[in-house]
Amino acid sequence: MEYILFGIIAYFLGSIPSALLVGKIGYGIDVREHGSGNLGGTNTFRVLGVKAGLIVTIADILKGTLAALLPVVFQAAADPLIIGIFAVVGHMYPVFARFKGGKAVATSGGVILAVSPLLFVIIFLTFFAVLKISKYVSLSSMVTGIVAIIASVFLQHKGLMVVISILTMFVIYRHRANIKRIIDKTEPKIKWM
């Protein structure tokens, strides 16, 4: 019963379309009609700039963190990692935005932040190191997922390793068009770093 209740709440938390809200309320712009059309931090950076991109990215991280902490806050037996997955699914397929959401990177990071702050620091540093070198957000996201799996093995946390593997599969699946563009050398590079 706890998993059903917390799972539903987490899904709805994940479904909050941060990019859509920031774009419409703060700028009068629907980010779905610009750039990649994606409801995530990367497209918000591209369309609305650094300030809006940071707000959306932080909000998307917090969705995952808050969802994963639900069982902790309510002292329930449900596994925070599993509840966090529901928030990630909500972010990718949000009920509040016609089931067309983001690519799960920031919200997945938020789930990891709730469960293993040390691993979050590792993936945070990895993401920006790869981004600095490659200028590709998509590549940085996928490499970070793979590094997170490897790091979770060294942290000897089986549950974390399994869930991070699932989250990384989500991230890579959601970036399949980006992979093709990277191979074709048509993937846009960031200009703010």
Q: Which tens digit of pLDDT belongs to each residue from 11-47?
A: 999 999 999 999 999 999 999 999 888 898 989 998 9
Look up residue 94 and give its amino acid: P
At what angle are helices 137-154 and 158-174 packed, to 10 degrees?
Answer: 170
Alpha-carbon distance 139 to 175, whole Å?
9
Tokens of 66: 């808050």
CB atoms within 10 A of CB 165: 15
The one-character DSSP state at 175 is T
pLDDT at 57 over 80: yes
**Residue 107 · residue 87 · CB < 8 Å:** yes
Q: Using a pLDDT cut of 70, give the percent of the chain over it.
A: 100
73 CA to centre of own chain: 22
- Identify the band that residue 74 occupies on the pLDDT scale cut at 50, 70 and 90: very high
Alpha-carbon distance 122 to 16, whole Å?
27
- What is the pTM for the complete model shown? 0.91
